[in-house]
Amino acid sequence: MRALTWHGKHDVRVQTVPDPKIVNPRDAIIEITSTAICGSDLHLYDHYIPTMKAGDVLGHEFMGVVVEVGPGIRKLKVGQRVVIPFVIACGQCFFCQRQQYAGCDNSNPSETAGMSQMLYGYAMTGAFGYSHLTGGYAGGQAQYARVPFADIGPIVIPEGVDDDKVLFLSDILPTGWMAAENCAIEPGDTVAVWGCGPVGLFTIQCALLQGAQRVIAIDHHPARLALAQRLGAVVVNFEQSRVREALAELTGGIGPDACVDAVGMEAHGQSVDNVYDHVKAAVGLVTDRTHALRQVILACRKGGRVSIPGVYGGFTDKFPIGALMEKGLTVRSGQTHVQKYSTKLLQMVLDDKIDTTFLISHRLPLEQATEGYRLFKQEQNATTKVVLKPKQSAVH
C-alpha cells in the first residue's frame, strides 16, 4: 500500500510499504478514505518527539471502511464506515473501566511500555502513528491501517454523512470538548482560550455549548482569529495587545473563570538535559511557547480553573507555582479519553450542533501528503487544517 512515512526532521515521504494484517483476535483492517494532519504531527515533523524510527507511518486522525475483522470481533462488520479514535484502548483494564481511555494499561506493547514508564512513572497508552513511546503502531496516513481492539474504538458512521463532517471525532473535536469540560463551566463564566489552532477552535465552540457566557480567544494569526470570531469568541491578538491587561479589562478586573492552554510546547525529550536545553533555546524565540502556560496561570482568576489540552512531553522551568497555589487554581489536563465522548459527540455533529468542516483549508490526495506537511508547517495562517484523501488520485 501507499503510506506517508517519516525519515527525519522535515523529511516525510509517500512510499510503498507492506499491507497491514490481522494479527490479534480483536483487530480490524480499515481501508482509509480520509485522514488529517494534526498539529501534533508537526512535533514529529520537527523531530521534537523522541523514539521515532526512520520508516514509521504517521497519522492518527483517520476514518474509512472496515475490510476485514479478526475472530474476536462480533459487532463490527465488514463494509461499515468508521472513524478511529487516536487512543488505542482495550476497554477492560482499570483505567478503561473508569472511562480514562487515554490511560489504558494494555494497549502499549510490553517492549515499548517501559520508555514512558521511565519518563512519567507509569507506562502510557498506545496510540496510532505517534513514535515508539506510544507503541510504534503504524498510523493512518496510508491506504490501510490495522486497528487493535476494534470492538472498543471505532465509531460507526451512518450512510449519507460526509467524511469531512465526522472525521474530527478521531481527535481534535473530543479534545476540544474535554478541554472545555475540564473548565467545569458555570453560568456566567468567561473562558479564555490560548491558541486558535484546530483544538483551540473546537474548544471555543464546546465551551459555548457547555454554557460559557463568553469565550475570549488569543492568537496572532489573523485568519485563525477570524475563524474564532466567527464561532462567537471575543479575540485578542497578542502581537497587538498586552494579553493579561486585555483579559483583566474584559472581565472587569476579576479575570477569566477558566483558562485553556491549547498551545502546548514542542519541548519533548527523555532526558532532563535534553528538555532543559530545548526550553532554554525556546526562550529566545518570538513565539515562546512556555510563555503561554505561564500566562494562563497568571491570568486566571482566584479559585479559577486551568485546562491544558496542549501537548507537553517533558519539563519546564520558571513555573509560576506561587500563582497556582496562592490563587487556589484547579488544573486539569491529559490526552483525550476519546472513546468516552464518541457517542455523544457523533449525535451532536449529526444534529448540526457543532460545525466541524469550517476549519478545513486544504483537501489533498495522499500522494501529495509531503506538500500538506510543508503547508501546515510553513503557512500556518492560511493552512488551518489539511485532510488527505487516499482514494483520490494525485493531481499533477
Partner 1 sequence: MTAEPVGAPSADAALALQRPARHEGPVTSDQEAESDLIGRSVTVDRPRSEVYGYWRDFTHLPRFMSGIRRVEVVDSQHARWIVGEADDQSVWETEILEARTNALISWSTSCGSHLLHRGQLEFRDAPGGRGTVITATLSYEQTGGRVGELLARLFHRDPRMQAYQDLRRFKQLMETGEIATAAPPDAAPRA
The DSSP H or E segment spanning 295 is helix 290-299
CA dihedral 80, 84, 90, 93 (to 10 degrees): -130
Within 13 Å, how many C-alpha atoms sit on residue 131's CB side? 25
Q: Shortest gap between Cβ of 338 and partner 1 (angstroms)?
A: 18
Residue 319 sits in the site that holds partner 1 (CB under 8 A): no
Pairing of strands 234-237, 214-219: parallel
**SS3 of residue 84 by DSSP:** strand
Residues 59, 64, 103, 135: which binds partner 1 (CB under 8 A)? 135
Residues 83-102 that bind partner 1 (CB under 8 A): 90, 92-94, 97
Question: Judged by CB under 8 A, which of 8, 109, 188, 322 binds partner 1?
Answer: 109
- Residue 113 Cβ vs partner 1, minimum distance, rounded to whole Å: 6
| Cβ contact 199:170 at 8 Å | no
User: Distance between CA atoms of 241 and 60, rounded to whole angstroms?
Assistant: 36
CA–CA dist 321, 316 (Å, integer)? 12
Judged by CB under 8 A, does residue 60 bind partner 1? no
User: Nearest approach, Cβ of 110 to partner 1 (angstroms)?
Assistant: 4
Sole binder of partner 1 in the list 34, 80, 100, 106 (CB under 8 A):
106
Q: Which residue has the cell 469568541?
A: 233
105 interacts with partner 1 by CB under 8 A: yes
Residue 75 contacts partner 1 per CB under 8 A: no
Residue 347 as a binder of partner 1 (CB under 8 A): the answer is: no
Q: Using CB under 8 A, pick the residue from 73, 76, 102, 113 that binds partner 1.
A: 113
Residue 209 CA, chain-centre distance (Å), reads 20
Residue 117 interacts with partner 1 (CB under 8 A): yes or no: yes
Choice from 11, 67, 114, 319 touching partner 1 (CB under 8 A): 114
Q: Are 131 and 21 in contact (CB under 8 A)?
A: no
- Least separation in angstroms between residue 129's CB and partner 1 is 9
Question: Among 1, 65, 184, 348, which residue sits at the site for partner 1 (rule: CB under 8 A)?
Answer: 1
Nearest of 56, 47, 65, 204 to residue 137 by alpha carbon: 56
CB-wise, 18 or 253, nearer to partner 1? 18
Q: Identify the residue among 10, 11, 67, 111 touching partner 1 (CB under 8 A).
A: 111
Q: How far apart, in Å, are the Cα atoms of 290 and each of 243, 326, 350? A: 15, 21, 37
User: Are the C-beta atoms of residues 307 and 180 closer than 8 Å to each other?
Assistant: yes
Q: Any contact of residue 142 with partner 1 (CB under 8 A)? A: yes
130 contributes a contact to partner 1 by CB under 8 A: no
Q: How many residues lie near partner 1 (CB under 8 A)? A: 49
Query: Does the footprint of partner 1 cover residue 56 (CB under 8 A)?
Result: yes
Q: Which amino acid is at 223?
A: A
Choice between 11 and 162, CB closer to partner 1: 11
- Return the ∠ at Cα 145 (arms to 144 and 151), rounded to 5°: 130
Question: Stretches 117-125, 263-271, 333-341, 366-374: which one binds partner 1 (CB under 8 A)?
Answer: 117-125
The Cα–Cα gap between 119 and 267 comes to: 14
Q: Among 100, 112, 131, 295, which residue sits at the site for partner 1 (rule: CB under 8 A)? A: 112
Among 45, 86, 149, 168, which residue sits at the site for partner 1 (rule: CB under 8 A)? 149
DSSP 307-364: EE-S---S--SS--HHHHHHTT-EEEE-S--HHHHHHHHHHHHHTT-S--STT--EEE
Residue ranges binding partner 1 (CB under 8 A): 1, 3, 5, 7, 13, 15, 17-21, 23-26, 53-57, 72, 90, 92-94, 97, 105-114, 117-118, 121, 123, 126, 135-138, 142, 146, 148-149
